[in-house]
Amino acid sequence: MENSYARDCSQTVMSFISCFSVDAAREDGSLGRLVNDDHINPNSNMKIITVKGKPHLCLFATKSINPGEEITYNYGDSEWPWRSKVLKMTLHCY
């Protein structure tokens, strides 16, 4: 969790529940930063678990996930560019 992001929600990379975010910009060995968004049919969801006073963003499967299947969760209600039908059509054309 990056404090710089937590200070200003408008700067989050993957905004999640108020001011929490996952900093996916830096390779830090965390597997959570590799999980893509699916707002229609995700197979996991994220919960905040506080351990010893420190919040952790944890993914929990919401259905059975097969080996090799991509893990996804809903990033939230922002207008993420990859959700745009226009962008999807543009990407599909190339």
Among 1, 9, 34, 49, contact with ligand SAM (rule: CB under 6 A): 34
Contact status: 59 vs ligand SAM (CB under 6 A): no
Stretch that binds ligand SAM, among 4-12, 31-39, 42-50, 62-70 (CB under 6 A): 31-39
- Single-letter amino acid, residue 65: I
Count of C-beta atoms within a 10 Å radius of residue 38: 16
Count of C-beta atoms within a 10 Å radius of residue 57: 17
The contact set with ligand SAM (CB under 6 A) reads 14, 24, 33-34, 36-38, 82
